[in-house]
A and B are shown apart, each in its own frame.
Chain A
Amino acid sequence: MAKLEVKDLHVAVTDEEKHQTKEILKGVNLTMQTGEIHAIMGPNGTGKSTLSQTIMGNPNYHITQGDILLNGQSLKGMPVDERARRGLFLAMQYPSEIQGVTNAEFLRAAINARRPKDNQISVMDFIKELNKNLELLDMSDEMTERYLNEGFSGGEKKRNEILQLLMIKPSFAILDEIDSGLDIDALKVVAKGVNSMRGDSFGSLIITHYQRLLNYIIPDTVHVMMDGRLVAQGGPELAKKLEKEGYAGLRDELGLKVKLTDDED
């Protein structure tokens, strides 16, 4: 069983143009274990993506206070690729395109990076696993010989993120707005992929604006983030309540003096 802990996390980003540092996360606490699905909901600009990027180790985000622990070990200063090999996975909101490198080749490199040099995955095993997952996600074989994300539609990119998740089998997957830009059919496919991973050795942190995705991937715990902090926590019913009453409703109920990005000035 693996454990991911976020402790009093403060994170700042530097605006390259203005040369200003801005604090985005202002003390986030979160503990999750494999076997659990957590969702973080919240309005735009409250730091949800910052949290996911910081956990993964994106060099543009700086921890100013607090820590992130994976199985008790601090991730501070740990390179991105090592975090990944230790079990973290981030399904990106905007996956990069890389011409000249096929999807299949990329997937094999990612899998083999986790295996010893003298025990790399065989072509047969790889293809078997790949075909199984392609079928699950309703993707065509042809996708694997295309260049990594190049010319993929928004929906194809998201499916491709989930394909990677299924192939790599991390302990913890952070899904950063995996539902954005997806139609209902694609959303169901993505949910099917994530649900197929559910079990004692897999945990997921789902970041979303909308409750809809959570109809298909039922979370154990729902957190609400506002202004760089997790301000509320509950079961799946909390997501439904938010859908009905909106973030402003919850904010007022909690008596928070937080400006939401979409508020009129």
Chain B
Amino acid sequence: MTVEIDNLTSQIQMAAGKAGEPTSFTQKRLSALKLMNQLAMPRMQEFSYKGWPIMPADGQLSLNFPQASDQVVQAAQTNQPDKPYFYGFAGTQLVSTNHGDQLKKAGVFCGSLAQAEKEQAAIVDKYFMSVVKPDEDRLTAYHAAFVNGGAVVYVPRGVEVKEPIELRLVQDSTAADQPLVFHLLIVAAPGARFSVMQHLMTVGDQANSANIIVEVVAQEDSEVHFSALDEMSAKTTVYHSRRAHLDAHANVEWAVGLMNDGNTLGDLDSELLGEGAKADSKLIAITAKQQHVGINNRVTNRGLHTTGLINQRGVVLDSSELIFNGIGQIVHGAHGSNAEQQNRLLMMGKEARGDANPILLIDENDVDAGHAASVGQVDENQMYYLLSRGIPEPIAQRMVIRGFLSAVLTVMPTQELKDKMLAILERKLGHE
């Protein structure tokens, strides 16, 4: 099947016009739409997602901004007044904002994509889909053409924001057939320093797809800490691509907790463009039941003396499948660069399947590169030690799992996030 460009062009124009979208943005949609028929779905090494409802069938494509149900709106509010910078999205709409005056004074913009299209047109024009490009594959083109919700964070030159900026996205699955296509654009001007937390969740038990792209533009000397907790429902099929472009001496730290209950195809990616840029990419995934999850965690060293670190840990329960590809690439000319990676899986379920694939692509000589990968069972010596102190097996097992995850868990930026992740782990272990 092919996408009906003409029909969809007018459908998009209608829907975008009704939403009051600037025509320049709609033009971006239409040029992405035109690419769709030429582009294939992305391939992931060692992992197949054939047959997943990861995006609507060609005949079902349309641009919609569905009104979220009350339950979803409620879940998108925070009841914690101590969160200084909080933005809650009910599906496609921003419904809750805690935006301190300080941010405004410092010239920080944080708001919905729709708002940014008007108030920060130059930023959106320049950077939207500049890190992840529409012409990469069918999923990125689909994203650019049908994006129906989003947020933009822009922190100006030299500004430091101490408290994390938290974005909660509640996907509305109280009804079926309302795909969420959500975009988060983060722009750090030179010397800016801040952290962003993205929390993805679902309300409702209907089947839907979610297509999430996060772009981080980290300009010279900036420092961005990005953390994520993904806990979307079993019936949500998720594609996410989170990618950063790093200019000279920029520093991006990723800390991702991938705890979705449903099938997930994920990409976490750092492009080290400028000299001395550094990315540290940490990820924890827990899979359970019949779930299939494939993750590419990639860092590409392009600039001189760049450093790329990958550390990912996964716990594979029940009869689920989890694939970790750690991809460290040093391109020709990236002298004095460093690429290190660790990919480790703990296989818990008897019928669980998992693979940790370190992929090193080194095209330069004077570099440091290393990798470690393991797929194993619970450490028997550790278990024996804990049991010998009278600690019952289920508790001992949780301690060993926490020990296994600890290298990544300890860098999660807040205690709240760590506790949430442990609670999800507990829930997933509970049905074993």
Interface string of B370-388 (1 = CB under 8 A from A): 0000000001111011111
Residues of A76-117 contacting chain B, CB below 8 A: 79-81, 84-85, 89-90, 92, 95-96, 98-101, 106, 109-110, 113-114
Q: Do A98 and B387 have beta carbons less than 8 Å apart?
A: no
Task: Mark the stretch among B100-108, B141-149, B179-187, B395-403 that contacts chain A.
Answer: B395-403
Q: Do A100 and B390 have beta carbons less than 8 Å apart?
A: no
Is A147 interfacial (CB 8 A cutoff)?
A: yes
With A79-B393, A81-B393, A109-B395 already in contact, the answer to whether A100 and B402 are too (CB < 8 A) is: yes
Q: Do B388 and A92 have beta carbons less than 8 Å apart?
A: yes
Closest to A111 in B: B390
With A58-B384, A80-B384, A113-B395 already in contact, the answer to whether A100 and B389 are too (CB < 8 A) is: no
Residues of A145-186 contacting chain B, CB below 8 A: 147, 164, 168
Q: Do B409 and A100 have beta carbons less than 8 Å apart?
A: yes
With A98-B403, A99-B406, A113-B395 already in contact, the answer to whether A85 and B385 are too (CB < 8 A) is: no
Q: Do B390 and A85 have beta carbons less than 8 Å apart?
A: yes
Closest to A95 in B: B385
Q: Do B387 and A80 have beta carbons less than 8 Å apart?
A: yes
Q: How far is the CB of B378 from chain A (nearest CB, A)?
A: 12
- With beta carbons under 8 angstroms apart, the residue of A81, A98, A164, A168 that contacts B382 is A98
Is B22 interfacial (CB 8 A cutoff)?
A: no
Q: Do A168 and B409 have beta carbons less than 8 Å apart?
A: no
Q: How far is the CB of A87 from chain B (nearest CB, A)?
A: 9
Is B410 interfacial (CB 8 A cutoff)?
A: yes
Q: How far is the CA of A101 from the CA of B405 in the complex (A)?
A: 11
Q: How far is the CA of A84 from the CA of B395 in the complex (A)?
A: 15
Q: How far is the CA of A109 from the CA of B407 in the complex (A)?
A: 22
Is A37 interfacial (CB 8 A cutoff)?
A: no
Q: How far is the CB of B311 from chain A (nearest CB, A)?
A: 13
- With beta carbons under 8 angstroms apart, the residue of A95, A110, A147 that contacts B390 is A110
With A90-B388, A96-B381, A96-B385 already in contact, the answer to whether A101 and B393 are too (CB < 8 A) is: no
With A79-B393, A81-B393, A113-B392 already in contact, the answer to whether A101 and B387 are too (CB < 8 A) is: no
Q: How far is the CB of B282 from chain A (nearest CB, A)?
A: 14
Q: Do A79 and B387 have beta carbons less than 8 Å apart?
A: yes
User: Which label, helix, strand, loop or mixed, suits the secondary structure of the B interface?
Assistant: helix
Question: Which chain A residues border B407 with CB–CB below 8 Å?
Answer: 99-100
Tally of chain A residues near chain B (CB < 8 A)? 26
- With beta carbons under 8 angstroms apart, the residue of A95, A109, A147 that contacts B391 is A109
Closest to A87 in B: B390
Q: Do A164 and B403 have beta carbons less than 8 Å apart?
A: no
Closest to A114 in B: B390
Q: Do B410 and A100 have beta carbons less than 8 Å apart?
A: yes
Q: How far is the CB of B412 from chain A (nearest CB, A)?
A: 12
Question: Which chain A residues border B389 with CB–CB below 8 Å?
Answer: 84, 89, 106, 109-110, 113, 164, 168
Question: Which chain A residues border B384 with CB–CB below 8 Å?
Answer: 58-59, 80, 96
Q: Do A84 and B406 have beta carbons less than 8 Å apart?
A: no
Question: Which chain A residues border B403 with CB–CB below 8 Å?
Answer: 98-101, 147
Question: Which chain A residues border B382 with CB–CB below 8 Å?
Answer: 96, 98
Q: Do A98 and B400 have beta carbons less than 8 Å apart?
A: yes
Is A56 interfacial (CB 8 A cutoff)?
A: yes
Q: How far is the CA of A90 from the CA of B387 in the complex (A)?
A: 11
Question: Which chain B residues border A92 with CB–CB below 8 Å?
Answer: 385, 388
Residues of A188-220 contacting chain B, CB below 8 A: none
Q: Do B396 and A81 have beta carbons less than 8 Å apart?
A: yes
Closest to B389 in A: A110
Question: Which chain A residues border B393 with CB–CB below 8 Å?
Answer: 79, 81
Q: How far is the CB of B423 from chain A (nearest CB, A)?
A: 16
Q: Do B390 and A168 have beta carbons less than 8 Å apart?
A: yes
Closest to A96 in B: B385
Q: How far is the CA of A147 from the CA of B400 in the complex (A)?
A: 12
Q: How far is the CA of A81 from the CA of B399 in the complex (A)?
A: 15
Q: How far is the CA of A79 from the CA of B396 in the complex (A)?
A: 13
Question: Which chain A residues border B396 with CB–CB below 8 Å?
Answer: 81
Closest to A107 in B: B389
With A100-B405, A100-B409 already in contact, the answer to whether A110 and B391 are too (CB < 8 A) is: yes
With A79-B393, A101-B403, A109-B399 already in contact, the answer to whether A84 and B387 are too (CB < 8 A) is: yes
Most buried by B among A80, A110, A168: A80
Most buried by A among B380, B388, B402: B388
Would you list 11 pairs from A and B whose C-beta atoms are within 8 A, ordered by A residue?
A57-B388, A81-B393, A81-B396, A89-B388, A90-B388, A92-B385, A98-B382, A100-B410, A109-B399, A113-B390, A168-B390
6 closest A-B pairs by beta carbon, nearest first, are A100-B406, A84-B390, A96-B385, A80-B387, A110-B389, A98-B403
